Structure 1
């Protein structure tokens, strides 16, 4: 139901699952395993996988912290979008990558739930995409020292409010990794 014309394809987005981003993140190994399973399923089913990689002053491009976790390996044919803002669309070629692949429905995974994930799902939705957040395939680090709720509550809240997002001609959903349907 995307509002984007000629975009019948569903694509899997893997956002910022980088060593320095998910080191110490809530349920890191479980989340990375879910993402790995989704990547393999997407590849097997011919679903495009789009990788997003963040860099900034604290996450220097080329550093060990900037590298994707070793459990997730991007295929050479899969697009990699470099970003320096929370919303993966801002200042990047993500829109062109998705348009070239005919993607109108994004299945979103990655880190961090309260920053780049939230910014990107909202950014995609306002740009006309259908957006499915994989509720057990996103995570964040603990920011309670700065007044944020515990990470499990941040993730639960993100999943809660996203399932109730509405807009004309678009859908928002939250599903578990085992329930992801790449055909719709």
Structure 2
């Protein structure tokens, strides 16, 4: 998933911020979806793609915890996907009210886990990947 923040934004199409981080670059044949909204599902074709592939579970991580990750988590849940979030795999920035660390902790423990997603240790999620078909 790649976010285009629109003209003038630090994540605008073609800017350095829009580029996919090398360590997470897609492998040969993997699809990249472009988004303009917080949710990875709004106007991207992601939901249809996952349905077509008969994918019912997703693993979610990334930036920014209280915006894109939260919106995508809840949107996936509403579409009937089982959402797994490996603990400490989302990130954000300090704001006027909370530190980044407190925001991540709040969303993982109070908002998502047991409501919209299962937040589990990374090792547990990696173990689940090994049992998914075609993994």
Match in the other structure for 1:125: 77
Q: Quick one: which of 73, 97, 104 aligns to 2:56?
A: 104
- After superposition, the C-alpha distances for 1:100-155 in whole angstroms (9 at most, x for unaligned) are 2211011111111110000000000011111111112111122x2xx231000000
Match of 2:113 among 160, 163, 166: 163
d(CA) in 1 for partners of 2:98, 2:93: 11
Which one has the bigger strand percentage?
Answer: 1
Deviations 1:145-179 (CA, angstroms, capped at 9, x unpaired): xx23100000001110211206xxxxx20012111
- The structure that is helix-richer by fraction is 2
Q: TM-score, normalization: structure 1?
A: 0.64
Question: What is the CA deviation profile of residues 65-102 of structure 1, one whole-angstrom value per residue up to 9, with x for unaligned ones?
Answer: 11012222211311111000001111111012111221
Look up the match of 1:179: 124
Give the paired residue count. Answer: 125
- Alignment match, 2:21: 69
The aligned residue for residue 134 of structure 1 is 86
2:36 is matched with which residue? 84
Query: What is the CA RMSD across the aligned residues, in angstroms?
Result: 1.4
Moved segments of 4+, more than 6 Å: none
TM-score normalised over the length of structure 2:
0.86
Runs of 5+ in structure 1 lacking a partner? 1-51, 167-171
Q: Does 1:54 align with 2:7?
A: no
Higher relative contact order (CA 8 A, sep 6+): 1
State the distance in 1 between where 2:61 and 2:53 align. Answer: 19
